[in-house]
Structures are given as C-alpha cells and as structure tokens.
Structure 1
Amino acid sequence: MANKSFDQTVVVKLLGRRIGYTTLKNKLYDIWKPSQPFRLMDIENDYFLVSLRTRLNFLTALSDGPWTIFRHYLTVEPWSPDFSSSQLFPHRIVAWIRLPGLPVTLYKCSLITEIGECIGKVVKIYYQTETGRRGRFAQMAVSVDLGKPLTSKLLINGRVQIIEYESLPTICFSCGRYRHVKDICPENTVEDQQESAAPKEQVTEAQFLNANKKSKPFGPWMVVERRQRKNF
C-alpha cells in the first residue's frame, strides 16, 4: 500500500470477536456501499487497514457509523503515524447509548446533547429521539474512552438516570470497564468474591434492577441489545 493511499485510509477492528479477511471485506461492502472498490490489508492483533479511493467513501466510513457486524462494534479511526497495532484494543470507540425513562420535559436536542456530553463527545442523536417522536428512551452515539470506567448513572435534577450501552456485552460490573467480566476483574475485592459465593434468593428482574440501581455503581442494566434504527 503506497504512502499516498494513507490519506484516505482507516484502521478498523471488530471489537470482541475475530473476523476473517474475506468475511470482513464482504461485510464492509454491504454496510459502507462504497462507490469504488477499496483495498484491505490485515495486520497484527486483528486490525485491518482499509484504503478508500474517494473522499466521500472515506468520510462515510468515518462518520456514518457506529457500525456493527455480527452484533459487535466495528471500530473505525483514520490512520495516523501514531497508530500502533501492538495495542490490543483501540483507546476510544463510538457507542450507542440509551437513556431509559428520561422525562419528556428533557426531550430537546440541546438538553439531550448536554446530558450526553457528560458521558462522552456526542457524535449523533437518533432522529426519532431528536424530534420527540419516541419517548420511551433517548438514544445517541457517543465517543467513550475504553481505558476508563463507563458512566453507568447520572444525577439529573435530583433524579438518578441510568445509562444503557448497546453491543458492549463484556462489561465488568465490579470496576465498570470494558474487556473483562467481574469474575476475573483485577480490582475485585474479597467482599465481592464472598458475595458472589453466597446463595441468592430468587427475585424478579425488576426487583433485581431496582436494587442494583440504588446499591451498585455498575450492573446488568448497562448491557442491552442493539435496536434497528432508520432515518439516517
């Protein structure tokens, strides 16, 4: 790949799952629909370089996501001389989040953006959320730092607002970070281990979530399935 091609080259990686060269290439054609063929190069640690021929195709890959393949995020970032394929995971990804039960009085683009900025840089707001057509939960795409604990709750006007993340199944409910689960968390305490070993009473899902929202900073409410979105 010639140096000139790096001007319109992106680095991609499927988060949490390995994917083969041919499968990825076919999937990229399906989701990006480039006007001209691109060049794909596999490098170490399951990263790939994608050299796009037009500026429009390059900008589409960067800005029209977040993209998912097999329900896993495809991280896309412009190539730079500082990029190192030795790192196992990208430092940042753009992820879809939801704000379930957000009061209808807050369903304004400026207010939702302000809330989202407490979590990460807001990249996109779901159209139906922005126009107030869908009040069950607000949705937006934000840039999150995978090196830090994910934001699980916010205090808005004295009310606790939980945060749900789509397509990020591997979240540790002990430290709040992506990449591992609670049972193998390096920050796990003896108290957590004893608690997990103790017998638990059967409770309904609603009771479980309500109890954990109050007592735990992180929990299963953070993980939700990806929803189909239109109107982009």
Structure 2
Amino acid sequence: MQKKASALLPLAAAALLVAGMGGCTWISNTGMGPAAAGPGTDASPAAELLPEMELILPELLALGGGDSPLEVREFREESCLDPIEDDNWNTETRPLAWMTGSVPDHETAQATMDAWKSRLEAQQWIHDNEWRNSPDTNGDVQVMLYHHGELELTARYDHAELGGSRSVEVLITGSCTENPADHQMIRSRLDPGYGLHSSYYDYAAEKAQRGRP
C-alpha cells in the first residue's frame, strides 16, 4: 500500500532539519518522544485522540491575540494511505491538527513561540528537542518538539530570505492505526471543512451537528 504524501512530510522535514543543522543551536534532547506506532499496534484510534487535541490547539491559537493571523488549516482524521492509489483509504488513519499564519516580524514570531512553550509545559507536554538558528536564517529559525501521551507536537518558526516573510505553525499528530473496511473517518468542528461536501467524511451528519452545543 502506498503511503499518503502528507503522512510522510514530518519525516521528510525531520530529515532536512538534521541535514541542515550546521550553525544551529541544539537546545535540549530528552529523546524524541514515544516511537511512532505503526498500524496494527495498540495506538488509540483518532476518535479517542481528537478530543484531547481540541483542548490544546484552541489554547495555542488564542495566544496569538485577538487579531492573530493564525488559522486552523486542518483538524481531522486523515488517511495514512494515498486516496488516489489505494481504494481502502479509510483502513489506515491517524489524527492530525495543523494551524499556521504569517507574522510581521521576528519579535512577534519569537513571542508566539515563547508563549506556546510556556503553555505547553504548563499543560504537562514533554519537551523533547529544540533547535534555534539566527533570525535571518533562510528556513527554520526555531523548531520545538513535544509529546503528550500518544500525541506528538511540532512548533515551527520559519523565515523566507526571499521577501523576508516570517511564519509560525503548530502540527499535532497521532500514530496510524488500522481500521475495518467500513470505518467512517471524522473531522473536528474546528476543521475549516467541517460540514462541507466530502467523499471521505459524513458531511451530512456534520451539518446536522452544526449549531449544537
């Protein structure tokens, strides 16, 4: 079965980060968190982990302030397989939440990363690793890795030398798990696509849930 491209992105990013660590500062290393559980292990299903993710991500989002540029881009159970290449895309899935946004300057980006760090550690997330580069670095200026139970979190501050844009993001994921052939994937109410037509989610049920407490 072919793995979905987005499911492999964190691994590719980690490889690039290690390859490009020349000149950066390694802040801490307490291990990389729990080993990613592959399909068929005792990892919890997405339906059990999404509620925990719904507790922390809004808190991190709120730390951006009332006029924050941060937006939730994805908050759902996603396939670990390629929906185009594999027919049974719902038989191997994981939970994923991702928010990102552009910030005007280094000070704002750094303040956001610092606020995230304080909140995560106050909520008992385990700080695994952290890298820092110069604020003018092209690419990752700061990357923080955390885990909490079965969830892994990456907070990243990026700078693009061309144009000078700066952005921050948070990615939270769980491990891939195997599901029966009739498994129904779910989205969080915080997902921007919640209630919109989809071949992978029960959008009719999502519409019915809209507006309910």
TM-score (norm 2): 0.27
TM-score (norm 1): 0.25
Larger radius of gyration: 1
Larger relative CO (CA 8 A, sep 6+): 1 or 2? 2
